[in-house]
Amino acid sequence: MYGGATFELAGNTVQLKRVSETTKGYGLAGSLSGFDYRIEHKSKDGVNQGVTFGQVSTKVGDMGVSYAMIDAESGNLVDENDSSIFAVEMGHSTVTGTTDDAQQQVTVTSSVDGNALTFKMGTIENAFSAGADMDYTQIMASRPLASGATATLTWTEQDTSATASKETFEIDLSVSF
């Protein structure tokens, strides 16, 4: 059985985890001068088996601004469960031999007339090959409707290769019971 500990230290939340026989993790989260921060590291036994995640966020007037990054010591260490904060997930490329080993994203959020707006812009390093990054942009608007449902519109533009890109537009209508 594996476990861990979470405790407060000088106003920070510290996490120590033993995820499996070969994997351990560490984390630190807190707030300083209006900036919230979080950094986590997960490593497996062996060479080049570590992944670091970091996020810094703050409020500027009515806008939320955040920067997030994930950095793996080698490719294929990050899957969709590790990077759910990002508009585009790492580790999904079908290109043989890709080494997508880092990702950075800036997010800006706001609200206008009851509409929640989110803008995300980022890059996945080495997504297609060494030096060929995947850039992406996502704009999302969400609004609760009088019926109790929520309508969400999402536009995403992302590179599909070093020289091409695609755009997707999604409409989501969510109903809660």
Where do the structural domains in the chain lie, given as residue ranges?
4-174
pLDDT at 109 over 90: yes
pLDDT class of 141 with cuts at 50, 70, 90: very high
The pLDDT assigned to 143 comes to 95
Instruction: Please provide the average confidence, as pLDDT, over all residues in the chain.
Output: 85
Q: Say which range, 40-44, 128-132, 135-139, 148-152, has the weakest mean pLDDT.
A: 128-132
For the chain, state the CA radius of gyration.
18
24/3 Cα distance (integer angstroms)? 10
Question: pLDDT-derived band of residue 115, with 50, 70 and 90 as boundaries?
Answer: very high
Each residue's pLDDT tens digit, 59-97:
999 999 999 998 887 666 666 555 567 777 776 555 555
CB atoms within 10 A of CB 77: 21
Question: What are the pLDDT digits (tens) for 8-56?
Answer: 998 899 988 887 888 888 999 999 999 999 998 888 777 667 888 999 9
pLDDT at 1 over 70: no
CATH number at 4-174: 2.40.160.10
Provide the token pair at 47.
């060479």
Residues 135 and 159: beta-carbon distance below 8 Å: yes
